[in-house]
Each structure stands twice: as C-alpha cells, then as structure tokens.
C-alpha cells in the first residue's frame, strides 16, 4: 500500500464505528473481558483511514481506534463526478471488494462496511461488491487497500510518458 503522511491538523475528521466486539480470554481465575472497536475516520474530501482500538471499556476502545485511524489516513483519487477514476479489486485476507466507477446520480451502492468507508472518503457515486469473506474488519481493510491503489489519469500518463488525452482515448 502507498502510505503518504497526511497533515491532520487542518482536517475536519468525522468518525464512524463499524463494529464493537467483546473478546474473552479464559484465564486461571475466570474470564477476562475486553472490547475491540473498528473505527473509520474521514473528511469527506478524499481522505479516509481505519483503526482498531482495544480496551476493557467500550469508549476507551473507540478513542484508541479513532487515534489509530487518524495515523493511517490515505488519499483517495476522485474524478469530476465524485467517483473513483477506474475500477479496481481491493484484497485483504480472504475478503475481496470490487470497486466500480459509477456515473453521476448513481449514489453509493455498497454493503454496510464498504459503504461507511466510501461515505467518509467523500465518494458520492460508486458500486461495490464484497466477494469472498464478509467479515466486517476484512471488508473495510480490503476497501481501504483498493482505494489507496487507485491512480489518477495524470499519474498513469506520467508513468507511461504519454498525455492524459492519449490515456483517456
């Protein structure tokens, strides 16, 4: 994955909790209960990140998840009608998410975990399909992985040594 350091001081980040799980560890004296929170943050303008927080209390797990997500923000390449620039398959573990470019007016056609990531990234028109595993954590991470790999036509043109018009034709 391409990781670029993003300055978060001037970003208005909103957070959404995707899932909260209660995790139990059986020890000699009984059971230890902990919580893990999967949190997605984004500025609805091309920046989105995901984080996992673990703690004995739910609010603390969410706070830790939000901190982790802000550390792992990515840039998403958007086109003129707030969709992605090309179709792509994001993969993480056994989860695969198909991300398809959509015309203006389509809206976000996506399942729960992928929808949250797309909304917070600022994508308005996209079609997605979760293939393989439907585990929420893996679907979110596959979506993030796919969005981070999407390139703009300018990047592709520069890499190939051609003009944008030649690439788009």
Q: Domain-by-domain residue ranges, the chain?
A: 14-74, 76-168
Q: 35-71: per-residue pLDDT in tens? A: 999 999 999 999 999 999 999 999 999 999 999 999 9
Q: 4-34: per-residue pLDDT in tens? A: 667 666 778 999 999 999 999 999 999 999 9
Give mean pLDDT, residues 116-141.
94
Q: Write down the pLDDT at residue 4.
A: 61
CATH architecture of the domain with range 76-168: 2-Layer Sandwich (3.30)
Q: Write down the pLDDT at residue 12.
A: 87
Give dist(CA 63, CA 20) in Å, integer.
12
Query: ∠ CA 44-45-46 to the nearest 5 degrees?
Result: 105
Residue 169 confidence (pLDDT) above 80? no
Q: Write down the pLDDT at residue 102.
A: 93
Give mean pLDDT, residues 71-90.
92
pTM of the model: 0.90
CB-based contacts of 38, cutoff 8 Å, min separation 6: 17, 18, 19, 20, 50, 51, 52, 65, 136, 137, 140
Give dist(CA 121, CA 3) in Å, integer.
16
The backbone torsions φ and ψ at residue 17, rounded to the nearest 5 degrees and listed phi first, read -90, 120
Q: 142-164: per-residue pLDDT in tens? A: 999 999 999 988 888 999 888 88
Neighbours of 45 (CB within 10 A): 14
Question: Strand pairing of 126-132 and 108-109?
Answer: parallel
Give mean pLDDT, residues 77-88.
90
CATH 3.40.50.300 fits 14-74, yes or no: no
Q: Write down the pLDDT at residue 8.
A: 66
Q: Write down the pLDDT at residue 5.
A: 62
């Amino acid at each position: 994955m391409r990781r670029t350091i993003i300055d978060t001081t001037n970003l208005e980040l909103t957070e959404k909790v995707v899932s909260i799980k209660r995790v139990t560890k059986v020890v000699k004296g009984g059971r230890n209960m902990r919580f893990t929170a999967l949190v997605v943050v984004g500025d609805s303008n091309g920046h989105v990140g995901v984080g996992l927080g673990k703690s004995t209390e739910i609010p603390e797990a969410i706070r830790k998840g939000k901190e982790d997500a802000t550390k792992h923000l990515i840039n998403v390449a958007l086109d003129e009608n707030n969709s992605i620039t090309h179709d792509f398959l994001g993969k993480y573990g056994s989860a695969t998410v198909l991300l398809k470019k959509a015309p203006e007016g389509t809206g976000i056609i996506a399942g729960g975990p992928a929808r949250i990531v797309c909304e917070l990234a600022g994508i308005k028109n996209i079609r997605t399909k979760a293939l393989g595993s439907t585990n929420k954590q893996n679907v979110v991470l596959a979506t993030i992985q796919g969005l981070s790999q999407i390139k703009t036509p300018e990047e592709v043109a520069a890499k190939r040594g051609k003009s944008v018009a030649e690439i788009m034709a």
